[in-house]
Structure 1
Amino acid sequence: MVFSSLLFIFVFLPAILCVYYLSPRFLKNFILVIGSLVFYAWGEPVYIVLMIFISVFDYLNGLIINKYQEKKIICRAVLTGSLVINLAVLGFFKYYGFLINNINSLFNLQLVVTDLPLPIGISFYTFQSISYVVDVYLGKVKAQKNIIHYATFVTMFPQLIAGPIIKYIDIAKQIENRKETIALFGEGAMLFIIGLSKKVLLANNIGIVWQNVKLAPMGEISVLSAWIGIIAFAFQIYFDFSGYSDMARGLAKMFGFDIMQNFNYPYISKSITEFWRRWHISLGSWFREYLYFPLGGNRAGRLKQYRNLFIVWFLTGFWHGASWNFVIWGLYFGLFVTMEKIFLLKWFEEKPVFIRHMYTLIVILVGWVFFEFENMLQGLSFIKIMFGFGANAFIDQTALYYLYTNALLLAALVVCSTPLTNNIVQKYQEKTKNAVAYPIPVIYTLLLFFCTAYLVNLSYNPFLYFRF
């Protein structure tokens, strides 16, 4: 079941909201856990056992660490066991096939690879569970003794499938003591509709352009078509993933939770460092807190800092998928982040904002080629076309057709990638806070209507990050 489906919007969501709000306070977390398990089991009936195992396993680990907190040897052993099991489970389901295929290639073997479907959301809920045990070990948070409360943290369906990756310490108080209000519910409903509109009206439609370009023979793609295509993908993945994150935050607010923002207009960035502070914020925060700082961060000299950055960016790429193109994608951005720390940021300080912004966008777009093409030779061929290396035409009728038929869509994508629309709405709300602001609810109602109309004829179209 996906958020952008009629079944979820008009059946599952109203049903669980009704049961949740009609239940007494002491049952609300239990209702949310049961609803989340039903939501997950709808698409992954077998792997629900895996998620329950991870939840119970780390719940017990937290209790053991809390009980023997004075005995560091025991606590360290429990923490190590938690890390090993969690990473082993994640590694087996996500990287088993990748490892065997690479062993076969290196040693000319023919080991049989069993095709295992990837459990949806495993990369997200595994990281959440690990962060809980680490924080209990470090004394940042006390172990949760109520298993229903802990299960609420791990299984909460709004962010279960594709984040944001939340830390227990950030919502511990909300799990045990939160207050649902009409105002918060209204904020959540509006945020959900915004996210739904991003996914259904923007991401899905511009994604068609990218698919047409990607599937075309390399020899028939003009330079302009290549740029239009990768720009289309850049918009697709942003509005797809940020749309999911907005929907997740909106749903959380409906149940009284306030979870972190995961995107902050990343395409307005003026450096790659800034881009990664605005893109997938929860993942960057997780790697920084649970890997970069424990490795020493920038406290042990320049060379070790660069080593730490290399490790973090290697794993950031590998986290996204079991394929070498994701590793290269991660190291590619790690290289630019490192160069910016060494000299690029200082060099760009004196340059006009336009130059810094164009540099950032070009680096990002080339990075998306590495991300999207699993076959690296195809990816490199596509980059060659983008920069005019080869016999491909600079411009053709197909490229002009893409521009002509998608002009309004592209304009909307550009505007919605900036804070402009949000600022306009906020200023309008401030001016009309003492009066009835009819246009605002009307606009959201129309957006929901158009999304619903679009979904009626839409086949199954999951979010891109479901595969990670």
Structure 2
Amino acid sequence: MFFNSLSFAIFLPIVFVLYWFVFNKTKSTQNAVLIIASYYFYSCWDWRFLFLLVFSTFLDYYTGIRIEKAKTSMGRKLWFWFTITINLGFLGIFKYYNFFADSFSELLNGLGLQTSPLLLNVILPVGISFYTFHGLSYVIDIYLRRIKAEYNFVDYSLFVSYFPLLVAGPIERATHLLPQVKVKRMFDFDKAKEGVYQFVWGLVKKVVIADTCATYANAIFDNYESMNSLSLLLGAFYFAFQIYGDFSGYSDMALGMSKLFGIDLLRNFNYPYFSRDIAEFWRRWHISLSSWFRDYLYIPLGGSSGGMGMKIRNTFIIFLVSGFWHGANWTFIAWGFINALYFLPLLLLKKNRSNMETVQLYWNFDSFKVFLSMISTFLLTCLAWIFFRAKSIGEAFDYIGRIFTNQSFQSQYLENERYNYEIILLILGFVLVEWKSRTQVEPISGKYSSLKLALCIAAVVALGTYSDYKEFIYFQF
């Protein structure tokens, strides 16, 4: 069940009515409605993996209590490492086992030892990376005595399985979400209206921008060997906006629909393509994941407290692990490594904490330099996205090489449809709207909100009717 599907358009209003008008007497009944809705939502993907979600929830709930009640330091450590091992073990088996088995087999074959790896014929449970990280942050915070264990199993279950964030985030913290689910929510019309605006704008990003760009990006990447330089450049450009519209659109829809239930989620995107350097980009892109790795990996490794060598080591570890988190393929590791290389000069020059404020442009030379820095950061990001999108590292290098060697900048036709340069105008219009809205959550609210809402819905219906690209990219992670 996708957020942009007809079945979800039926599901969401039903949950909303039951939540506010039928079972709204107590916090417990509200939470029960959301848990049942969340489990049904997840079972629509594959009911067989529902046990994995329930088991993960119970494991972290129980071990969190055992960690808190442990009488000795050794007992705390045993329970802590018990749950960490099982959580990462499940993630490793379902997401990474085949990758390691294949890679090890290829290594042995390269050494002249012919092997045939034993692979698991299982699909990746949707959302496993996200709800695993929810649980991990919870037990780590208990172990470090940052929070107390949650004894109400229903409240904790909702923290883990809350359907707006279940399959693609944002990655919530217990310190932020649990206090909200432990109290009865009261309906707030203004908040609900804000949620509708944000949900619809996220739907525009997904259906109008991401899915439209996906048609062209997929056609180019799937046939890159026959594409000229202009086509390949456009392919990288289209994919950059596809993944941005896809993932930030999902996040906006998650945050928006959550406001319908009186619950605020963490912001996950903050206009990253207006960043002036790669450090700022990572403060604005997938914020919940970046902050998770910062708090639970980078800082425990020593963070920035040691010498430059330690800082460089920790930076590369963070980016490589972040890349590997996205998928079991060397392309994601290469993508993480490239971003670490981008980050390195800023770290060496101690400029990685520059550009903390919202970007502003004026009619002067300094603003021209700022504009160039935004363009260069975006181009570097597009170059890295090629590795993210390619099927192999060799294909990514071949794709980039052909950009410089095919040397033709004429319009090309694809099998399904020709390049439609109106899509570039659509993207530029979207960028202008994003630029104007960069100091707020979404652009629909404010003056003429009803008209803007109607136009957005019309655009979604017009383009969504003919789109056959429904899936979200980050569902595979």
Common topology (TM > 0.5): yes
Aligned CA distance change for structure 1 residues 454 and 228 (closer, same or farther; 3 Å): closer
**Given that residues 271 and 438 in structure 2 are in contact (C-alpha distance below 8 angstroms), is that contact kept between their aligned partners in structure 1?**
no
Residue of structure 1 aligned with 2:451, choices 442, 451, 454: 442
Aligned to 2:316: 310
What is the alpha-carbon distance in structure 1 between the residues aligned to residue 286 and residue 247 of structure 2? 9
> For 1:140-171, what per-residue CA distance to the aligned partner results, in whole angstroms no more than 9, with x for missing partners?
11111000000010000000010000001112
**Given that residues 267 and 418 in structure 1 are in contact (C-alpha distance below 8 angstroms), is that contact kept between their aligned partners in structure 2?**
no
What is the alpha-carbon distance in structure 2 between the residues aligned to residue 160 and residue 423 of structure 1? 25
Residue of structure 1 aligned with 2:132, choices 110, 126, 131: 126
What is the alpha-carbon distance in structure 1 between the residues aligned to residue 7 and residue 464 of structure 2? 10
- What pairs with 1:35-74 in structure 2 (closer than 5 Å)? 35-68=37-70, 70-74=71-75
> For 1:27-74, what per-residue CA distance to the aligned partner results, in whole angstroms no more than 9, with x for missing partners?
000110010000000112100100100000000011111222x52111
Between 300-309 and 407-416, report the one with greater CA deviation: 407-416
Aligned to 2:474: 465
Aligned to 1:33: 35
What is the alpha-carbon distance in structure 1 between the residues aligned to residue 294 and residue 445 of structure 2? 38
Aligned to 1:294: 300
Which 5+ residue runs of structure 2 have no aligned equivalent? 110-114, 356-365
> For 1:359-399, what per-residue CA distance to the aligned partner results, in whole angstroms no more than 9, with x for missing partners?
2122101100111112212111111223x2x2x13311318
Residue of structure 1 aligned with 2:187, choices 157, 180, 191: 180
Between 133-142 and 286-295, report the one with greater CA deviation: 133-142
**Given that residues 224 and 232 in structure 2 are in contact (C-alpha distance below 8 angstroms), is that contact kept between their aligned partners in structure 1?**
no
> For 1:74-127, what per-residue CA distance to the aligned partner results, in whole angstroms no more than 9, with x for missing partners?
111111111111001001000011011112111131023122100000000000
TM-score (norm 1): 0.92
What is the alpha-carbon distance in structure 1 between the residues aligned to residue 160 and residue 441 of structure 2? 36
Aligned to 2:78: 77
Structure 1 residue 421 displacement after superposition: 7.6
Residue of structure 1 aligned with 2:257, choices 251, 254, 257: 251
**Given that residues 6 and 455 in structure 1 are in contact (C-alpha distance below 8 angstroms), is that contact kept between their aligned partners in structure 2?**
no
What is the alpha-carbon distance in structure 1 between the residues aligned to residue 151 and residue 209 of structure 2? 44
> For 1:187-240, what per-residue CA distance to the aligned partner results, in whole angstroms no more than 9, with x for missing partners?
11111111111101111011112122112242x322221111101000000010
**Given that residues 224 and 399 in structure 1 are in contact (C-alpha distance below 8 angstroms), is that contact kept between their aligned partners in structure 2?**
no
Aligned CA distance change for structure 1 residues 174 and 237 (closer, same or farther; 3 Å): same
What is the alpha-carbon distance in structure 1 between the residues aligned to residue 342 and residue 85 of structure 2? 32
AA paired with 1:3? F
Aligned to 2:370: 353
Between 259-268 and 415-424, report the one with greater CA deviation: 415-424
**Given that residues 225 and 399 in structure 1 are in contact (C-alpha distance below 8 angstroms), is that contact kept between their aligned partners in structure 2?**
no
Aligned to 2:361: none
> For 1:427-451, what per-residue CA distance to the aligned partner results, in whole angstroms no more than 9, with x for missing partners?
983xxxxxxx6x3123213422442
Between 299-308 and 365-374, report the one with greater CA deviation: 299-308
Asked if residue 235 in structure 1 is aligned to residue 241 in structure 2, the reply is: yes
1:398 is paired with a residue of what secondary structure? coil
- What pairs with 1:264-303 in structure 2 (closer than 5 Å)? 264-303=270-309
Aligned to 1:192: 199
Asked if residue 13 in structure 1 is aligned to residue 12 in structure 2, the reply is: yes
AA paired with 2:347? K
**What is the RMSD computed on CA atoms of the aligned residues?**
2.3
1:157 is paired with a residue of what secondary structure? coil
- What pairs with 1:312-461 in structure 2 (closer than 5 Å)? 312-343=318-349, 345=351, 352-386=369-403, 388=404, 390=405, 392-398=406-412, 402=419, 404-420=421-437, 429=446, 439-459=448-468, 461=470
**Given that residues 214 and 469 in structure 2 are in contact (C-alpha distance below 8 angstroms), is that contact kept between their aligned partners in structure 1?**
no
What is the alpha-carbon distance in structure 1 between the residues aligned to residue 186 and residue 141 of structure 2? 26
**Given that residues 99 and 328 in structure 2 are in contact (C-alpha distance below 8 angstroms), is that contact kept between their aligned partners in structure 1?**
yes
2:48 is paired with a residue of what secondary structure? coil
AA paired with 1:395? F
> For 1:408-432, what per-residue CA distance to the aligned partner results, in whole angstroms no more than 9, with x for missing partners?
3222232244244876987983xxx
Aligned to 2:363: none
Aligned to 1:206: 213
**Given that residues 228 and 399 in structure 1 are in contact (C-alpha distance below 8 angstroms), is that contact kept between their aligned partners in structure 2?**
no
What is the alpha-carbon distance in structure 2 between the residues aligned to residue 104 and residue 425 of structure 1? 49
What is the alpha-carbon distance in structure 1 between the residues aligned to residue 421 and residue 257 of structure 2? 37
Aligned to 1:224: 230
What is the alpha-carbon distance in structure 2 between the residues aligned to residue 355 and residue 452 of structure 1? 37
Aligned to 1:159: 165
